[in-house]
Chain A
Amino acid sequence: MAWEIIAEVIVRALVEGAAYSLLAVGLTLIFGAMRVLNIAHGDLAVLGAYICYWLLVIFHIDVFIGLLFVVPLMFLIGWGVQKFIINPAVSIPQFQVQASYIITYGLALFISNQELIAWTADYRSLTVAYSYLSISVLGVTINAPRLAVLSVTVIVSALYMLFLRTRLGRAIRACTQDREAALLMGINFNKLAGFTFGISAATAAVGGMLFALTYTLYPAVGLQLTIKAVTVMIFGGIGSVGGALAAGLLLGITEALVTFVVGATYKDLVAFMLLVIILLIRPTGIVRKEFFLPK
């Protein structure tokens, strides 16, 4: 009996961690390649989820099929945001990180307020036909959307890892490790940055949709998601995609276990305590290699 409860807790934890992982991966990719902290990341995720919501409610398109439309759209939005807003603002290398805080916070405000106007502040959830279906395996009951979330996360992470092995992915990793050397090797940074931002926004939208499938969606949740993603990013080591994936799952499991043992009130505390402790004792996160020394 106890075994099954623990197993269920862990499955739920993995689902929650999966959304964090997907959010953090995009954030860490951008910060790695471009030295831009995208505070609007969570809001972009929520925007993607809201578009899925519209597709579901107005056109009755299933959320996972809707992703086929939302992912390219968010890619374009991310690309445009990078080209027309972020890139002009962070063109001064010395001022880059500070400038990115302000411009992306402005963007976050813009997106969340536009969401308030378009979708109001009501709590919404993506309720699909199979929302209340559940599957039992060895006495462990799993909700069907949660299973879908897990499988989508696995697919997206695998695609990500494959993508990082391609020519473009190699270019992004090269910029993460040493931007000036990468530029000297003939990498067109502006093109690369647009593409990175697009991919990051697209994965954020997937993460946001998965989050909305299991939790509630409202415009103000964007900043909370950003903070969770930043926590995971630092936990996993800034710039490391694999680290972010692992750290998201670890954070999900820790939170779920604390919720199970202590209670849900201290759930948020766990993430932030973890964040502060990691920063104080091991700022490079769980990865072996130091991608960034604190500057």
Chain B
Amino acid sequence: MHCVQMKRGMWSKLRNFKFSCYIIAILCTIPVPYIASSGITAITVLLLMYVSMSVSYNLLAGYLGDLSFGHATFFGIGAYTVALLTHYQVCYFQPVNILFGGILAMGFAAVIGYPFLRLKGLYFAIGTLGLSQIFRVLFKNSDFTLRSHGINIPVPLPYSIHPYYYAIVALTFGIIVAADRIVNSRLGLAFVSIRDDPDAARMVGINVTAYRILGFCISALGVGIVGGFFAYFNSYVHPEGVFSLDISFEMLLMVFFGGAGTILGPIVGAVIVLLVEEIGRAFIRQGYLLLLSLMLMVVFLVMPGGVVGTLTKQTPFINPLAQLRRKRVGSA
């Protein structure tokens, strides 16, 4: 009884700690558009977008262990859903459109999930990459999506960045809290057990395929919603932009740079990557990613588990125990 109470005490302390972290973060983000210039605010919006995208992507790549090179597909579906709904004058209410974009992305993930998640490892990654490229070419050549003109989304006047900023703040916190809840639930445990050993997971009664499809759908939902937001924020979508490989790879980079399989990892990764990108843009005009690439290689060589992963010793992908187990099974 005593022990249980102590545990509960620790748990509530931890929850209080987390809760206070959220409160501090929200308090820190609220005054930004009033203090900083509009340029800095725009970069912050971009940053929060990348944070929420990589947190969603991390559920698939970090917790489920299925790396995808084509998550831009869902980003693009979200963005184009919003753009098309506005262009064809179906619905002008932003939150509904954004949510619909996310749900459509999730639905698409569910449809392709079964055939694609029969693939594993490199094959799955390359398959999703091919998918995003197919979408890019199709959207670029279809009359329904205005071909390569892209779609303009009218900006409500008078323009102010504040609504966009607060929308993305709310969205990011929503996604982070949701991801945290998922990771610390039965679902998250199932994901982790599938990542660490799919055969053992199947043995204890986890439906591996169903959970992988579910993880794929959840991460697609997050990325799709951010895509929908991006369409409004950018007020213009273009197939080359929203289905581009850069978006897919950027998510991968941020997740693994920060630490895959941790909640804090993708957040830190997104902040560092975007910050270095902007510093590079300020100092080197052409070839501004040079700085980022150098830092990426050096840091990754020093901390192969990502920044957060290595510092907190949470490196699920290079866990020596899992390695040992895999080796023993392999040699038998």
| Residue among B115, B288, B304 with most chain A CB within 10 A | B304
Contact B318 A113 (CB under 8 A): no
Residues of B with C-beta under 8 A to A31 = 122
Binds A, one of B9-17, B28-36, B245-253: B245-253
Q: Is B208 an interface residue, CB under 8 A from the partner?
A: no
Mostly helix, strand, loop or mixed at chain B's interface?
helix
Asked if B133 is at the interface (CB within 8 A of a chain A CB), the reply is yes
* Contact pattern, B 129-165, Cβ under 8 Å of A = 1, otherwise 0: 1110110011011000000000000000000000000
**Does A106 count as interface, using CB distance less than 8 angstroms?**
yes
Answer yes or no: A136 CB below 8 A from chain B CBs: no
B290 in the interface (beta carbon within 8 A): yes
A294 to B120, Cβ gap below 8 A? Answer: yes
Q: A106-B300, A109-B292, A113-B289 are in contact. Are A276 and B123 (CB under 8 A)?
A: no
Q: How far is the CA of A200 from the CA of B287 in the complex (A)?
A: 26
What class of interface size applies to chain B in its complex with A?
Answer: 35 or more
**A166 contacts partner chain B, Cβ-Cβ < 8 Å:** no
Contact, CB under 8 Å: B318 / A121 = no
CA distance A129 to B288 in the complex (A): 36
- B288 and A113 form a contact (CB under 8 A): yes
A247 to chain B, nearest CB (A): 14
Tell whether, in the assembled complex, residue B138 and residue A269 are in contact, meaning their CB atoms are under 8 Å apart.
Answer: yes
- A230 contacts B126, CB within 8 Å? yes
Contact A283 B123 (CB under 8 A): yes
The contact of A272 among B137, B256, B293, B322, by CB within 8 Å, is: B137
B residues 309-327 touching A (CB-CB < 8 Å): 317-319, 322-323, 326
Residues of B within 8 A of A103 (CB): 297, 300-301
- B317 CB to nearest A CB, Å: 5
**CB < 8 Å: which of A37, A97, A117 contacts B290?**
A117
The segment from A59-67, A88-96, A154-162, A206-214 that touches chain B is A88-96
Tell me which of B129, B287, B317 has the highest count of chain A C-beta atoms within 10 A of its own C-beta: B287
Q: How far is the CA of A45 from the CA of B31 in the complex (A)?
A: 48
Q: Does A231 contact B (CB under 8 A)?
A: yes
Answer whether A98 and B130 are a contact pair too, CB < 8 Å, given A110-B290, A121-B286. no
Name which residue of chain A comes closest to B128, CB basis.
A276
Q: Report if B296 contacts A (CB, 8 A).
A: yes
Contacts A89-B300, A113-B293, A117-B287 hold; do A294 and B257 have CB atoms under 8 A apart? no
Contact B287 A269 (CB under 8 A): no
Contact partners of A112 in chain B: CB under 8 A: 289
Contact between B121 and A231 (Cβ–Cβ < 8 Å)? Answer: no
A101 within 8 A of B: yes
For A120, list chain B residues within 8 Å (CB).
286
The residue on A at minimum CB distance from B120 is A294
- Chain A, residues 99-133, CB within 8 Å of chain B (1/0): the string is 10111011111101111110011000000000000
Rounded to whole Å, the gap between the CB of A222 and the closest CB of chain B is 11
Interface-central residue, B245, B293, B326, by most chain A CB under 10 Å: B293
A109-B296 CB under 8 A given contacts A114-B287, A114-B290, A227-B129? yes
**Cβ contact within 8 Å between B286 and A266:** no
> Which among B122, B141, B249, B252 is the interface contact of A37 at CB below 8 angstroms?
B122
Known contacts A109-B293, A295-B120; is-contact A89 B304 (Cβ 8 Å): yes
What are the 8 closest A-B residue pairs judged by CB atoms, nearest first? Answer: A109-B293, A116-B287, A113-B287, A110-B293, A106-B296, A275-B130, A117-B287, A113-B290
Q: Which residues of B are interface residues toward A (Cβ below 8 A)?
A: 67, 115-116, 118-123, 125-127, 129-131, 133-134, 137-138, 140-141, 245, 249, 252-253, 256-257, 260, 284, 286-290, 292-294, 296-297, 300-301, 304, 317-319, 322-323, 326
Q: A95-B318, A109-B296 are in contact. List 16 more A-B contacts (CB 8 A).
A: A31-B122, A94-B323, A95-B304, A98-B260, A102-B252, A105-B253, A106-B297, A109-B290, A112-B289, A116-B286, A234-B126, A265-B140, A266-B137, A273-B130, A275-B130, A294-B122
